[in-house]
């Protein structure tokens, strides 16, 4: 059953107002992306220089990629149950295309299908996105590397681990991004711990699986394994269940 998130709540509660503000900001950002892309396209059409046209085409392409990554992180319209593994695959694909490919950073996803509410899945996605961005910005120093995301189940908890093989020495308490990550982890009823060092960074998020959340068997998954595989470029992101068992 799908329920509109905040859309039919006319009580004026702080929660419904927060969702309305998030939707408004998201809508505004989408419009700004479209305006800037349109402006770049107009400049491209009016230029007689092949070199300028090539550069402007690259700028427009990059803006399209960032716009796609932004859309992948939009707040869900309906409260329903989704497969978190499929959601993370689509999100990681968008982030990889926008932020990682041109820097030769490989993104690896290891996951088991896991059903959870769309709002909680969205918050998980924001945490993962922020941790990937932190690794890309601080760990590799203009060289390639690997960022690895593992989503698994540990008893009555879900466990999401994000690691990289860079050399970030960023302290866990620094930066607004990690403070937001901490707040989102609390929203999920969980905790997150970080370790930064010369051999890379490790962030481990542990949060409870709600009673409504069910582990998806391969026979009933809304996003079966074959379809998940075809949605992702095999060069940069893959699914490897054996790797979870090896660790």
Q: What is the pLDDT of residue 1?
A: 55
Number of domains in the chain: 2
Q: What is the pLDDT of residue 13?
A: 52
Assess whether 186 and 89 both reside in one domain. yes
Q: What is the pLDDT of residue 176?
A: 85
Q: What is the pLDDT of residue 3?
A: 59
Q: What is the pLDDT of residue 214?
A: 41
Q: What is the pLDDT of residue 133?
A: 93
Q: What is the pLDDT of residue 128?
A: 97
Q: What is the pLDDT of residue 197?
A: 83
Assess whether 48 and 145 both reside in one domain. no
Question: Which two tokens mark 154?
Answer: 């540990």
Give me the CATH number covering residue 100.
3.30.565.10
Assess whether 25 and 96 both reside in one domain. no
Q: In which domain, by residue range, is 54 found?
A: 3-72
Q: What is the pLDDT of residue 143?
A: 83
Assess whether 60 and 84 both reside in one domain. no
CA distance 210 to 153: 12
Taking only Cα atoms into account, the Rg of the chain, rounded to an integer number of angstroms, comes to 19
**Low-confidence stretches of the chain (pLDDT beneath 50):** 10-12, 172, 211-247
Convert the pLDDT of each residue in 148-173 to its tens digit.
999 998 778 899 999 999 886 655 45
Q: What is the residue whose two structure tokens read 């990889």? A: 96
């Amino acid at each position: 059953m799908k329920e509109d998130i905040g859309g039919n709540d006319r009580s004026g509660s702080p929660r419904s107002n927060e969702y309305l503000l998030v939707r408004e900001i998201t809508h505004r950002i989408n419009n700004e992306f479209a305006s800037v892309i349109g402006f770049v396209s107009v400049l491209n059409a009016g230029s007689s220089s092949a070199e300028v046209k090539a550069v402007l085409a690259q700028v427009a392409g990059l803006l399209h990629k960032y716009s796609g990554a932004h859309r992948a992180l939009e707040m869900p319209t309906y409260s329903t149950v989704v497969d978190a593994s499929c959601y993370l695959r689509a999100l990681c694909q968008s982030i990889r295309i926008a932020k990682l490919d041109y820097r030769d950073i490989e993104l690896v996803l290891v996951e088991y299908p896991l059903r959870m509410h769309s709002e909680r899945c969205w918050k998980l996605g924001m945490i993962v996105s922020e941790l990937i961005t932190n690794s890309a910005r601080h760990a590799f120093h203009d060289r390639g590397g690997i960022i690895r995301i593992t989503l698994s189940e540990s008893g009555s908890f879900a466990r999401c681990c994000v690691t990289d093989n860079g050399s970030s020495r960023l302290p866990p308490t620094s930066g607004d991004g990690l403070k937001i990550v901490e707040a989102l982890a609390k929203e999920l009823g969980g905790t997150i711990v970080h370790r930064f060092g010369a051999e890379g960074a490790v962030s481990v998020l542990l949060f409870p699986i709600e009673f409504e959340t069910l582990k998806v068997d391969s026979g009933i998954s809304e996003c079966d394994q074959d379809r998940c595989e075809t949605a992702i470029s095999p060069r940069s992101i893959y699914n490897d269940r054996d790797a979870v068992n090896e660790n």
